[in-house]
Structure 1
Amino acid sequence: MHEEEPEGNVEEAFGRSDMDRERLQRLSERQRRKRLSRTIGKQRLVAQAEIDRLSALLAIPEETREGSLAIYRQAWENDLIHGRSIEKILAASIYMACRKTKEPKTLDEIENATKVGRKDIIKTCKLLAKRLGMRLAPASPEEYVRSFCAKLNLKQPVEDRALEIINEALRRDITSGRGPTGIAASAIYIAAILCDDRKTQKDVAEVTGVTEVTLRVRYKELARELGIKVE
């Protein structure tokens, strides 16, 4: 008695098996991509929510908030997030957006809001600028005058005088190598004295984020170079 042969030949049987394996592999790959897509989506939502929170905390305008998100997305798309602290990337994205939109936020303010050290912020900014082909525009002392004067409750004449001092210092090229916040703080301190609306060195230092020592050195330097008598 002969056994019945199975329908089809051996090759067809193996062919069906291979096709099944291929289908399973494709299904597995689709599932992996879906999981990855969901993970990426969640991480982006978390990052966006954090940028929204920090933007509100720092009171930065919509243009700067959107700029922060754009920089973060570029970092993600260029695979600069993997293996790095998301907090550092977010802090750097916000600071770079502030620089780009000339929003007067100091490194100290970004550090206090994000809890990321200023050295890490600077280092990450340099990395992003290099890898994304961006130019990190240097801050100008003029950008900080209005914000600092507002926080010190100084009137418009003081702000105007401080800007005049800074512009003259820039024209004479005596600000080279000096931090912009230190120059702004010094100009405001001098202007407040000249306008008879004095503020203590401690008050100016606390608001501007510079040390009292730096403030003393810079304001004396500015006054001497510009021939301003400060008593």
Structure 2
Amino acid sequence: MTDTTIREYTGERASESQDEEPIEQEDETLVCPECGGSLATDSERGETVCEECGLVVSEDEIDPGPEWRAFNANEKDEKSRVGAPTTNMMHDKGLSTNIGWQDKDAYGNSLSSRQREKMQRLRTWNERFRTRDSKERNLKQALGEIDRMASALGLPESVRETASVIYRRALDEDLLPGRSIEGVATASLYAAARQAGTPRSLDEIEGVSRVEKDEIARTYRYVIRELNLEIQPADPESYVPRFASELNLSDEVERRARDLLQTAKQEGVHSGKSPVGLAAAAVYAASLLANEKVTQSEVSDVASISEVTIRNRYHELLDAEGQML
């Protein structure tokens, strides 16, 4: 074959390939071969159907989803084989590997002494890689403290998550120098509880924390000021359900306590008063009005406030209620 023939042959092949390209591109568009209408994919049936004429263009498509079905959240969690979602409550957000402490294999059999030593070395090195720098060690200690205190106070997981985010922000903005890790962690939890509408008093927070009340209050004011957190003053009514529940009082007492506090707000009695003291006094007064007597000492123990405060606020609430009547 001569050079001229080769050039002519290659030129013809090139022109043919150029002519074929538009045809391939046209085939890739999702249009119905019958009417030219648009196609829609039905993932439940595994079919591609024309929206205009209903022609089934393809069927028995591969389903990329799981092979199991779940009818509620619990079944979904039990059957799912993927890892837990990322969370701010762990210093590595739950993305690292965790080696269990049980010295057993996949079949439940105990490991030999040599294998146990090997697993212990792996755990040691795994822990070192998980906390490689001072920031990660700081986070690990602080988030552990937040989780411990939240468990002791009975706070929900959403509050722990918010407290972890607040602490991470404080760490990123370099607010920790000159302050203890426990103090900032406690202040973050206190702020998160108030933001979520499930506040705890400073006395309750101090009871589970490793720092003093004055340091908690001082660090809390500093954190919310530097991070520009918008936290409303605690509402006395938010304490009522917990106090009534711990004292085993009825819904009638809780309702009357709310009415007393609403009346106090209208009369301006609540101004400058501790919301915990007002809530405790309202619960005590409502229990007397509903003939479900509890002692001031019992209310004092639940609310972590003195009996003198309860007596003073109790008379003020009843006086405000009398003015309204």
Which TM-score tier does this pair reach, normalised by the shorter chain? 0.7 to 0.9
4+ long deviations beyond 4 Å: none
| In structure 2, distance between residues paired with 1:83 and 1:165 | 44
Deviations 1:125-174 (A, max 9, x none): 11001111112321010000000011111111100110111111112221
1:1-231 equivalence runs, <5 A = 38-227=133-322
| In structure 1, distance between residues paired with 2:133 and 2:224 | 28
C-alpha contact (below 8 Å) 1:152/1:204 kept by paired residues: yes
Most deviating of 213-222 and 51-60: 51-60
Report how far residue 37 of structure 1 moved.
5.6
| In structure 1, distance between residues paired with 2:139 and 2:297 | 42
| In structure 2, distance between residues paired with 1:223 and 1:88 | 39
> Identity, % of aligned pairs?
38
| In structure 2, distance between residues paired with 1:74 and 1:154 | 41
| In structure 2, distance between residues paired with 1:39 and 1:161 | 52
**Which of these two proteins has the greater Rg computed from alpha carbons?**
2
Q: Which amino acid aligns with 1:192?
A: S
Q: Which has the higher contact order (CA 8 A, sep 6+)?
A: 1
TM-score between the two structures when normalised by the length of structure 1: 0.80
Report how far residue 62 of structure 1 moved.
1.0
| In structure 2, distance between residues paired with 1:192 and 1:54 | 31
Structure 1 unpaired stretches of 5+:
1-33
C-alpha contact (below 8 Å) 2:241/2:254 kept by paired residues: yes
* 2:133 match: secondary structure: helix
TM-score between the two structures when normalised by the length of structure 2: 0.57
Aligned to 1:9: none
| In structure 1, distance between residues paired with 2:248 and 2:199 | 17
Deviations 1:205-224 (A, max 9, x none): 11111111111111011111
Equivalent pairs counted in the alignment come to: 194
C-alpha contact (below 8 Å) 2:236/2:278 kept by paired residues: yes
| In structure 1, distance between residues paired with 2:179 and 2:155 | 25
* 1:134 match: secondary structure: coil
